[in-house]
Amino acid sequence: MPESVGLGCPQFAIAAYIENHPNMLNYQSLDQLTTAGAGEIHAIGQACGNGWRKVFNVYAKLIFELDTTYFPYAKSASTWQAYRDHYLLQSDSHTSLMFSPPILSAQRDLQHQPHATIHIIMGRTYAKQLIKEGKLNCPMQWLDNEFAINTEHRVIVCPYFDYRQLSNIKIQYLAKLMKSLVA
């Protein structure tokens, strides 16, 4: 089975897929999933700029927006900023940021109980590229020009994690789509 490459918790229940990786030396040759250390998200934001800060901010806002009945991960923090700084992509966060294509398999899902993994692909362009290259082999139902879903494999395509593309209203919509996959 191919290896997942990215940053986050090995027992992830939520995997967000991004086309590129941080332009830092230690991520250039990354070939596995690595847990984020304390302060690592801040360091990436400082070294790689505002675009990466936005990715982490939007990811934390999304986790904070989720229904804690089904996604209890944000209960440990009082604000999305505290969640971002102290829990996102760290051990036991159940979140990951993947730099490799999704691995959609029953074996992968068995590792992520009680719910199978929800796969979020950032950006329609990236999703269509994965489909064209044969790296995303599940039919997607396009809900509109920005969002698509496959309920069988729990895959969602959404706008890129940037405030202008994935606004607060769209974060709320994405949270509802995620809940629909587990409720």
pLDDT one-digit tens code per residue, 45-85: 999 999 999 999 999 999 999 999 999 988 889 999 999 99
CA distance 76 to 74: 5
Residue 44, pLDDT > 70, answer yes
Phi, psi of 105 (to 5 degrees): -155, 155
Whether 22 is covered by a domain: the verdict is yes
Strands laid side by side in the 155-158 sheet: 33-34, 6-8, 95-98, 14-17, 118-122, 155-158, 148-150, 141-142
Residue 159, pLDDT > 80, answer yes
Look up the domain containing 107 and give its range: 6-182
> How many domains are contained in the chain?
1
Whether 1 is covered by a domain: the verdict is no
CA distance 106 to 87: 27
Residue 107, pLDDT > 50, answer no
Whether 81 is covered by a domain: the verdict is yes
Residue 148: the pLDDT is 98
pLDDT, mean of residues 132-160 = 96
The pTM for the full model equals: 0.93
- CA 134 vs. chain centroid, Å, equals 20
Whether 133 is covered by a domain: the verdict is yes
pLDDT, mean of residues 8-26 = 93
Q: What is the pLDDT of residues 30-42, one digit of tens each?
A: 999 999 999 999 9
Whether 40 is covered by a domain: the verdict is yes
